[in-house]
Structure 1
Amino acid sequence: MLQNKKAAIFDLDGTLVDSMWMWEEIDIEFLSSRGLALPESLQQEIEGMSFTETAFYFKEFFNLEESVEELKRIWNQMAYDKYVSQVPLKSGAKEFLNYLKEKNFKLGIATSNSKELVMAVIDAHNLRSMFGCIMTSCEVNKGKPAPDIYIEVAKKLEVLPEECIVFEDIPMGILAGKNANMDVCAVFDEFSKDQEDKKYRLANYYIKSYHDIQNKTYEVLKNEK
């Protein structure tokens, strides 16, 4: 998996940290306070969207009075304490990051979340110094599955796309990495387990935890870039 690679780029939620459970709770709380129910298809509809794109979607779909910026501020406030104190790293993630740094890999984060929340959680786990680039989809033209964020992170890390391995937990993110001409390792996450078939069809590799990589128990999939 790591042969001929110089950089590893990680999605955040569901990939590097175990946080997807929290967003469903926040969506339910946010909508119920406005007398609205959580549509069953919501997560599928917003999958891969940037924080800003998601706010636009919510405003239009639910006909909300708040501005896009106000919605983002509300969600940041609702999630911040949870990211600081309740969101753990995925199993084996810190050990794997340390291993990559020992091997002189360049590390980046490419997330659809807000900059405030990504910095909150990586600071809570003392990881900020690990990463040469931390970028959100709000900083590029299009969210995932467009390749924009992965291409930009690779540029910031000063590596070629084909020199990168991407770690992602959802199909739209996997597609973003593939569309950037990068190999992608799918990461198991309880929240997206109903999408396992799609992940297997799209990714180059599959892990249940980051321990699989150092133990050489990861799955090699026969999907092309």
Structure 2
Amino acid sequence: MKLKCVIFDMDGLMFDSERIVGECLKKAAKVYGYVITDEFRLQLLGRNKKANEKTLKEYFGKDFPNEKISLLTTQYKEKYILENGLPVKEGLYNLLKYLKENNIRIAIASSSSESVIRKYLKITQTYQYIDYIMSGNQVKESKPNPEIFKKVLKHFHINPLEALVLEDSQNGILASYNAHIPVICVPDLVFHDDSVNSLTLKVVHDLNEVIDYLKNTYELSSDNF
């Protein structure tokens, strides 16, 4: 089977942004008198804003000031990135270049908003590699629902076995599995147990290892599309 498209998650997979967001969220919540533990924060990984708001209000109560805390979190995050830059995950540039050289389409399927995705791509000078963006505010259901991945397949008119998903979160892996798309896990904040890892093709240390896997596994050619 020819590989025609690689679908990237973004936060925690392309960029080391989950740690930044997590610390900013905890700091913002504390301003309003709420304590978000690292353990609880992990429940929010890989899901869109609407889904996370539901989880936060179920946990803290309906009076949880989600919009205010979300706004303050964004302000803290933007200040941090402005002062420190946005860390890129090991092997990202190498993998993007490799995929382009082999005429494999590159898509992003992220629970973040489209504006955030485009901003991060511009900051890291990776925008020119991306063929298609599907964001969290373009779907009705958040990961682990497969909707976001199915929309990418529909855009490129390909079947699930002609695509490959790269994910770090459990919700993302489950979404890929539910869409019947092969998935490779590149762990970030969480190392999953066997019940999750068994749903993947492989668990790798970084994105450089994805290149090695592609070379040894898929049929690649210059006429994929």
**Same fold? TM cut 0.5:** yes
Determine if contact 2:28/2:69 at 8 Å carries over to the other structure: no
CA gap 1:174/1:39 in 2 versus in 1, 3 angstroms? same
Tell me the TM-score normalised to structure 1 length. 0.84
Listed one character per residue, the Cα deviations across residues 23-49 of structure 1 (whole Å, up to 9, x for unaligned) are 221121011101111145422432332
Out of 146-155 and 210-219, give the one that drifted further: 210-219
1:204 matched to 2:201? The reply is: yes
The one-letter code sitting in structure 2 at the alignment partner of 1:202 is L
- 1:90 corresponds in structure 2 to 89
CA distance in 2, matches of 1:40, 1:14: 15
CA distance, structure 2, for counterparts of residue 77 and residue 147 of structure 1: 31
Q: Distance in 1 between matches of 2:80 and 2:120?
A: 9
Residue type at the aligned position of 1:149: I
CA RMSD of aligned residues (A): 2.5
Q: Distance in 1 between matches of 2:38 and 2:212?
A: 38
Q: Identity of aligned pairs, percent?
A: 25
List runs of 5+ in structure 2 lacking aligned partners: 218-225
The alignment status of 1:5 with 2:17, answered yes or no, reads no
User: How far does residue 139 in structure 1 lie from its aligned partner after superposition?
Assistant: 1.2
- Does the C-alpha gap of structure 1 residues 67 and 35 become closer, same or farther in structure 2, counting only changes over 3 Å? closer
In the TM superposition, residue 90 of structure 1 has moved relative to its aligned partner by 0.9
> What is the rounded CA distance, in whole Å, between the counterparts of 1:30 and 1:218 in structure 2?
44
Cα drift, residue 166 of structure 1:
0.2
Q: Between the two structures, name the one with larger relative contact order (CA 8 Å, sep ≥ 6).
A: 2
Partner of 1:213: 210
Q: Secondary structure at the match of 1:104?
A: coil
Q: TM-score, normalization: structure 2?
A: 0.84
What residue number does 2:30 align with?
A: 32
Q: Which deviates more, 162-171 or 76-85?
A: 76-85
Change (3 A) 1:158 1:127: farther
Offset, 1:206: 1.7
- In the comparison of the two structures, how many residue pairs are matched? 215
Give the corresponding residue for 2:118.
Answer: 119
Instruction: Give matches, 1:1-225, under 5 Å.
Output: 4-62=2-60, 63-64=62-63, 66=65, 68=67, 72-83=70-81, 85-189=84-188, 191-193=189-191, 195-216=192-213
